[in-house]
Amino acid sequence: MINRRAMLQGVLGAGAAGGALLADLNSRAEAQDATPIAVGAALPMSGFAAADGIEFKNGLDLAAEEINAAGGILGRPVEIHVEDTKEMGADIVSQSMQRLIDRYTAPVIINGYNVGTNMIEMDIAADNDVIMMHYNTLISHNEKFKTDPARYYGSFQGDPPEYWYGPGCLNFLKELAAAGSWKAPNKKIAIIPSANEYSIVIANAIRDKAAEYGFEVSLFETVPFPTNQWGPTLAKLRQDPPAAIIVTHFLPQDLAQFMVQFLAQPTDSLIYMQYGPSLPAFREIGGESVNGVIYSTVVGCLPDDFSKPFREAYRAKFGPSSAYITGSQTYDGLWMWATAAAIAGGPGEPFNKEQAQKIAAVMRRNVYRGVNGTYRADPAGQSAYCYPTQVADPSLGMPHQFLQHQDYKTNPKLIAPPLYATDSFVLPPWIKA
Amino acid sequence: MLDILMSVLVAGLTTGALYALATVGLSLVWGSMGMLNMAHAAMLTLGGYAAFTATTTLGLPVFAGFAAAILFGAMAGGLLYVLIVRNLLKNDKATFESNVMIATVGIGIALENTILLTYGGQPLKQPLSVDGILKLGPLNLPYQNIVIILVVVVMMAVIALLLGKTRMGRAIRATAQNRDAAQLMGVAVNRVYFQVLVLSGSLAGICGVMVSSMTQLSPPLGNDPMLKAFIMCVVAGLGNLPGAVAAAFGLALLEAFIQYVAGARWGFPSLLFVVIAVLIWRPSGLFGRTQIRRM
């Protein structure tokens, strides 16, 4: 679809000096225009994922404040508009995104995660010719992108897909054993996903690759989402204790309860969990029970010097218990898009396909180092590359971070991957050496 | 093997106790007033947060936190009657049941979102919880589970005494059996409705503390217990209080054992299967009687 503005640009561009003239006109027009640019976000501000939704909004607010303080995008300030996706799902998320486009003429939508959407977000972005960045962390994004790259040109996943958790986790366990830091009592692993796409895909990837890394799956138990009564599942684990228990369910409160109930009668198993332990609620609810738990995330604010100003500004603005590890995702997303929009000559508006394609091209071309690590779009799926499982060069992939809670009163320690790790693995207190 | 089965049994009994407490509050209102209180979940959440505020923010002792949960639950029940139910009762009685259900859906959403705006969405730890484990041979019983079961048993006894032995209880039972007849016999029906909602609110407050002590505080805290309580009420028979308690424990044990034997994901579907089976073979519930509401 071509609109009037795009057609006029094309006509002017056809003249001898058209290209240079258009660039000059465009530059001056953008500089003189101080109309705010609407940045949309469809976030779960209520419902069970509200805690994360609020942090996603915080990340956007902080990034907007910084971008505006730096002069905005070619002189135009950005303005955040949020629609609540409540319990999420394809219907609510698609309607929320459409409202953001219709009401505010948002040329970009930066979401955190929404569950149960079947990646409908990509269709909304394609139908309206807007840029959409999200952190659903789903391989289904890549699969959908591959079906029609020309249609889904504006959809970006700001982190690697969840699939990489599978081989990444197995590789981590194997290297831990090989280094002698952990002596596995047997080769068994128990996998506990919950009934949602993210959790199941990771669990399946671990199950399918386990044999390649020298492990055998002794239990594959899917629990309801959300869940907090772990009694029957723990009974099965105690019946046949594995070397490692891998919980791919991700809600922090439920995972904290798992630890509290597990420690009533622990087994000599290493415990790895997904995402939830990165949030402050995990430590607050679990207390001392969480010491020794390992978790990983393919996206999260790194504990390095580069991200220090962000972490400090975030806590200063949103309070000491705010979760910058979540807010960092949309924070990087907005900065990345704003930089690309400025390079491309402006943010455009819905249905301005030409401008949206220019911005998308810059986003594909740029390697962006944010507070979560490096974003470099994998052209095959338009998600971030994953280091070290997918790419060996840490400057070209987002680090798959492995962290361990060693003292629940302090921040968890980054124990892998190489070059990023700040501390060493410590044997969990419930394992008898 | 025995210790593993016992741990499943303890998990089932603890869950059953929580279900029972949520179910009694819901069933009480349903049985006596014909009112499905859809705000029960939010009242439960309110109780949990009231205890949190009393003990954490105000620094009050544990029993004061527990009292705050009861007080705020009771106040929510009382306000629900004064502001909503009383006015709906003035209208056509035939539409009361549907009107009050829709109205309480709105109240529940508003209350849940007020809690979200006040406390934020991050899950919080309920300070009214007991750490530690009681070791009995091969058995490891968390103190928290023991406390929950004991509190619920005590509350059941208190409710039974209240309904069976007091003047207020007789008035509630009379109203439940036949509202018009009770009114003709001099029972102040409106006052009974107020008392029932206050009592139900108090129970919701206690239930909120108990549930959050096993899980965490979050604005949607009450939704899952409310859903399970609804299932228990339907299985037991609408408004049948002893039946609801029996159904709560029975179904929770069934759920725990199915989760252990067949897998955790089959627990909830098995409850739904029981509901469907009951509705087909005994439409008025396992303990219910057709067109008769009993307490």
Kindly report, residue by residue over B238-278, the tens digit of the pLDDT.
767 888 889 999 999 999 999 888 888 898 999 999 999 99
Both A167 and A256 in a single domain? yes
Kindly give the pairing relationship between strand A131-134 and strand A108-110: parallel
Both A283 and A198 in a single domain? yes
Both A119 and A49 in a single domain? yes
**Interface contact flag, B265 A195, Cβ < 8 Å:** yes
Is some CB atom of chain B closer than 8 A to the CB atom of A233? yes
Is some CB atom of chain B closer than 8 A to the CB atom of A265? yes
How many Å apart are CA A224 and CA B193, to the nearest integer?
A: 37
**Interface contact flag, A239 B4, Cβ < 8 Å:** yes
Picking from B9, B148, B265 by the largest number of A CB atoms within 10 A of its own CB, the best residue to mutate is B265
Q: What is the mean pLDDT of each run of 10 residues along chain A (433 residues)?
A: 38 33 42 86 90 94 97 96 94 98 98 95 98 96 98 98 94 94 95 91 94 96 86 92 96 91 93 90 90 95 94 95 92 98 97 98 96 96 96 95 95 92 95 79
CB-based contact A272:A169 (threshold 8 Å): yes
Model pLDDT for residues B51-83, shown as the tens digit of each residue: 999 999 999 999 999 999 999 999 999 999 999
The predicted pLDDT at position B239 comes to 67
Picking from A229, A249, A260, A262 by the largest number of B CB atoms within 10 A of its own CB, the best residue to mutate is A229
Domain assignment present for residue A378? The answer is yes
Domain assignment present for residue A13? The answer is no
* 3-state SS assignment for residue A160: coil
Residue-number span of the structural domain to which A249 is assigned: 163-292+400-416
DSSP lists the bridge partners of residue A80 as: A39
How many Å apart are CA A270 and CA A288, to the nearest integer?
A: 16
Q: Dihedral, CA atoms, B177, B181, B182, B184, nearest 10 degrees?
A: 180
Both A149 and A180 in a single domain? no
The predicted pLDDT at position B177 comes to 84
Q: Enumerate the residues of chain A whose CB falls inside 8 A of the CB of residue B7.
A: 231, 234-235, 238, 265
B251 to chain A, minimum CA–CA distance in Å? 15
Is some CB atom of chain B closer than 8 A to the CB atom of A228? yes
How many Å apart are CA B73 and CA A92, to the nearest integer?
A: 32
Q: Enumerate the residues of chain B whose CB falls inside 8 A of the CB of residue A280.
A: 122
Domain assignment present for residue A433? The answer is no
> Looking at chain B, which residue has its C-alpha nearest residue A282?
B123
How many Cβ pairs within 8 Å bridge chains A and B?
Answer: 108
pTM listed for this prediction: 0.79
Q: Enumerate the residues of chain B whose CB falls inside 8 A of the CB of residue A47.
A: 220
The predicted pLDDT at position A31 comes to 52
Both A206 and A126 in a single domain? no
* 3-state SS assignment for residue B279: helix
Is some CB atom of chain B closer than 8 A to the CB atom of A222? yes
Model pLDDT for residues A101-147, shown as the tens digit of each residue: 999 999 999 999 999 999 999 999 999 999 999 999 999 999 999 99
- Minimum mean pLDDT among A177-186, A368-377, B217-226, B282-291: which range? B282-291
Measuring CA to CA, how many Å separate B141 from each of A351, B210, B216?
62, 17, 20
- Tally of CB atoms within 10 A around A144: 21
A154 to chain B, minimum CA–CA distance in Å? 31
Name the DSSP class of B145: H
Both A56 and A204 in a single domain? no
- CA contacts within 13 A on the Cβ side of A380: 7
**Interface contact flag, B123 A285, Cβ < 8 Å:** yes
Is some CB atom of chain A closer than 8 A to the CB atom of B287? no
Inform me whether the pLDDT recorded for B106 exceeds 50.
Answer: yes
> Looking at chain A, which residue has its C-alpha nearest residue B15?
A229
* CA max distance for chain B: 62
Which secondary structure element, helix H or strand E, spans residue A218, and what is its range? strand A216-220
CB-based contact A155:A236 (threshold 8 Å): no
Query: What ipTM does this complex have?
Result: 0.81
Domain assignment present for residue A104? The answer is yes
The predicted pLDDT at position A196 comes to 85
Number of domains in chain A: 2
DSSP lists the bridge partners of residue A296 as: A274, A402
Is some CB atom of chain A closer than 8 A to the CB atom of B113? yes
How many Å apart are CA A223 and CA A241, to the nearest integer?
A: 18
The predicted pLDDT at position A27 comes to 52
Both A148 and A220 in a single domain? no
Close Cβ partners of A255 (under 8 Å, ≥ 6 residues apart): A247, A249, A273, A276, A277, A282, A286
Which residue of A51, A195, A287 is in closest CB contact with B123?
A: A51
| Beta strands per DSSP E along B4-136 | 133-136
Q: ∠ CA(A97), CA(B105), CA(A224), 5° rounding?
A: 65
Both A309 and A234 in a single domain? no
Which residue of A51, A231, A264 is in closest CB contact with B133?
A: A264
**Interface contact flag, A253 B142, Cβ < 8 Å:** no
CATH number, domain containing residue A49: 3.40.50.2300
Is some CB atom of chain A closer than 8 A to the CB atom of B267? yes
Domain assignment present for residue A4? The answer is no
How many Å apart are CA B232 and CA B30, to the nearest integer?
A: 13
The predicted pLDDT at position B286 comes to 84
Close Cβ partners of A51 (under 8 Å, ≥ 6 residues apart): A279, A281, A323, B120, B121, B122, B123, B218
Among the listed residues A359, A389, A378, A411, the one whose alpha carbon sits nearest the alpha carbon of residue A143: A378
Q: Enumerate the residues of chain B whose CB falls inside 8 A of the CB of residue A49.
A: 121
Is the model more confident about B95 or about A69? Answer: A69
**Interface contact flag, A235 B7, Cβ < 8 Å:** yes
A314 to chain B, minimum CA–CA distance in Å? 16
Both A74 and A139 in a single domain? yes
Is some CB atom of chain B closer than 8 A to the CB atom of A240? no
Domain assignment present for residue A324? The answer is yes
Both A249 and A126 in a single domain? no
**Interface contact flag, A54 B12, Cβ < 8 Å:** no
- CA contacts within 13 A on the Cβ side of B138: 8
Is some CB atom of chain B closer than 8 A to the CB atom of A285? yes
> Looking at chain B, which residue has its C-alpha nearest residue A322?
B122
Domain assignment present for residue A234? The answer is yes
Is some CB atom of chain B closer than 8 A to the CB atom of A354? no
Both A280 and A355 in a single domain? no
The predicted pLDDT at position B140 comes to 76
Tokens of A353: 């396909």
Domain assignment present for residue A407? The answer is yes
Both A214 and A183 in a single domain? yes
Is some CB atom of chain B closer than 8 A to the CB atom of A281? yes
